[in-house]
Structures are given as structure tokens and as C-alpha cells.
Structure 1
């Protein structure tokens, strides 16, 4: 039975990844310090194949008898945390990545590093392809997250070259679905929480900035497909995983108001510094390499997410 170590496995994305691995009969060890992950995200699991250890990835990993793959998913990703937890985020994506890579190296295991579309910053290329090097403000309020993710990719490349390791990097675009923290601070949980309370939906700027939202099950299928691809195809590669259906933030707000029973309206606030104006992945590589593409529509995915945020809707 193959053994997968999942850092951040009690988080939104990590817990869905754990579900997928257990369904495929992996033995899974979760490492999570519950900084942004939540124990309840794994409370539904009844499997002797799952071990959960409270552990901060900034510390050296525990000893394991054997490891086949390390999924490094740990990191706060909410913009609300970028100032209050700046050092923690930067070190999780640097020192934490080093520890994940050392674990994989020790066991001659594959490593999959979770990067982010935020490495592209406020892009001057649209849609964003894996060859685009980005436009990031290294001293701005988002820098602890954006730049540490960029460094984690550089470190992964260095380890792969120095130690001939099988390391794969996935750039994750905006994702949503059940188990998102309602207080996460990202746009979909913000809008859903406000709509369910009957508060006006807070739009930053004029709402013309765009995003592309991927439902969590589609994202996990893409990540698993990438991790399971043959070494000759995927080792050393970086790949975008996300949805290509691009909408404005104002259109997203209107869609949520159309699907939640609420009297909420929309209100506008100044746009935060360095908030990206556009975001859409080029997934040509994922289509060609993995035969992967997202299948869940925004409305379908939102309905599934709304059901968890408010079962009475």
C-alpha cells in the first residue's frame, strides 16, 4: 500500500485531496498545525489508513518508515492573513518546502509542490501560461505569500537538479467548494456569508476585475492526474490547474445573489493594493499532458457550496 504524506491536509484543499487518496487505497499521513486548517475538515473520515499529526512544517518532519509521495499543500492563503501572519506564511513556503523536499529526498519519493496563480502577480500576459514569469511587487502587502511561493518553486527546481528528484509543481488558480472557511477572507466565502446573513456584498474597486473559479473536485482530479502521471511525462514540470471561465467580480456577486434567497445588494469599497486586475489560466499544458479539463459549472459548484454554508437555502 502506497504511503502519501500531505502537509496542510486538514485545510480546504488538503482535506479533499486526502479523501481522494483514501478512496484510491493510499495510506495517508496528514501534517497540519491547524493555523488555517480545521480538524472538522477530516472529521467525516473513518479509515484506519489515515493518520493525523499536529505538526508545523517549519519544523523538521517526523520520521517515517517509508514514503511514496509528499504533497506539500500547507500554507495560509487568505489575503486577510498576508499582513497578520506574514512571517509564518513566508517561512511555511520556504523552510516548510525545504522540509517537504528533504522528506521526499530521504525516501526517494515523488514530491508535489502546491504553488499558486499568485506567482503571476498583476499579470501583463492574459491568459497566464506556465512560461510567463509574472509581475509581482516584492515589497507589497501580498509579497510574503506571492514571493515565498515563487521561492518554493525555485527551491523545487534546485532540489530536482541537484539530487535528481521527481518533483512536480502545480499552480493552483482560484478554487472554491465545501469546507471553505466562511471567514476565510476570499471572495466566494465572503460573498456567500454576506448573502446568507442578508448583508450587502462588498465589492472592492468597481467590480470589473476578473477571476476564474474552479470547483474543488475538478481541481483535485487535476492534481491527482499530475501526481499519477509517469515520471517521463511529469517529473520537473510545472502546470496550471484552474477553470478558464472568466467573469468579473461584479458578475460573480450577481450570480450569488441570483442563487441565494436573500435581500442583499452590493456595496463598493476601495481596491486593495496590488489586487490583480485579471486572472485566467492557460490550461493547454494540462489538456495535452493529462487530458484534464474542468467540468463543473460555476452555478452548479456554487449550489453545492451554498448547501454547506446554509443548509436551509
Structure 2
């Protein structure tokens, strides 16, 4: 049985050491670099005479991500987290600025020239049911990116990945609706790992799961990042999960990065007012116990 992590404890020293070692062995250049990235959207027009208003989703983002790093991106809804990772993954283009992957500029490349990015960067999405084709078997789902990239032996790779994510070999012939939410997310992770990526982007990967299985999926994710020597970009509203998984944290607010640094330093000594407010608003076990004790004290006089 998978050991349940104590969410809220800092990432283990071994994990930080692995990340540092991976960075040192690959070289000083970042795997992803964003320079002065701006993304503006125009909302639909509400008048025949005036164009729709412009929304500035990202405002001059500068970000370097090293090989082997475990980067957590946190912030409230609308802070620009999802927009940023879509740009880093080449799923959208910035209005201005530059993004490079392994030293190659990707912002001006057409989609047909991004095959290297589709191979080396993969994503795990929030809702596994909506990201898996219900008409395809698990085997076909995992094989799909392998076939597109011309992998020589996709069947063997499917069996290897099912074992890696803790699913039986018989799961290959079943369909997504035949699995639980946690198992479907394991299938999504297997699909993301199939083309041997260098970077794994996890966008709220456990927020749609039951609390009872979140820790199991997070433990699996941590083990796979270590086993496959991946760079992890982890986006979440749950600050305790980010603290558990990541060695570096970026805090976003209103389309800007307001604070960044080592996880322990950010969580224990935040400097920006928004970061302090975000951490103060996050529920903790101590707060939950205090609320429980207060409710119990209010009920006891009534029972007497």
C-alpha cells in the first residue's frame, strides 16, 4: 500500500538534492526561459460601435526553470497561472516577449515545427475524465503519442508504463469510464510519460480527486519524477501540496510574479504582502482542530 504523505511538511532533503544534482549534471542553462512575456486577450464586443475590452492576463513575466527543478506555481483564480503554462507548453502564443525551450525559441515557430516540444514537454490536466477519449482503450490512449512520434515498440512501452503507475496489465484493454478518478489520473500520467519527456507540467492534477486518493497520486507523481529524472512544473491552489512537492515556488498575482524563491524560505519568511495573505488564508491542521474544539465546547453546555 502506498504510504500517505503528511501534507504540509517541506519537500524532503533527498528530493532537493536530486533536483540540484540533475541541474548540475545537465548544465547551467535553463530548460525553459521566459523573458518579458505579455499576453493580452480581447473580450467579445458588447457594442456595435466599440470593440471589446482588452484583458492583460500576463504582464512582463521573467522566469527561468532549471533542469531537474520542481517548480510550484501558486496564486488565486485569475492570477495567470494557467495562461503561463499554456504559453510554456506552446499551446498559445504571447502577445510579446520570448520563450525558449532547451535553448530554442518557440514563440514564433509554427505548430508543425514544435514536434520536439510535444515530445519533451507533456501535461497532466485537472480532470482526467475530460482529458481521456472515452472511445479509446487505455492501451490506445497511452500509445497515441508514441505512434505520432514514430516509437518503434509502443506495446512494450504501454506495459512498462502501466506497471510504473501501479495499474494491472489487464487495464490496457478497458475504457476510461471503467476506472475510478484516481485510476484515471494514473492513466493520464502514463500517457504523459509515454514519449519520454524531459518536463512534466501538472495543472491542478489532484483537485478533482477524492481526498482519500490525493495522497496516493501525489506520492506516485513524486516517485515518477525521481525515477524518470523529470523537471516538474506543478500548478495548484493547495499551498500545502506545493510545499510537499516542490523545491522552488513562484507566487502569481494579477498576471505578475510577485515573489519567488526556495519553498522553505517563501513559506516560513514571505516578504510580499500578497504571499503573506495567501499563506494566512490557507487552512491548516491546527486551524481545523481549533474549529472542531470550539464547536465541541459550544455543544457541551446544551447537552448538559
Work out whether the TM-score is over 0.5: no
Structure of greater Rg: 2
Please report the TM-score for the alignment, with normalisation by the length of structure 2. Answer: 0.29
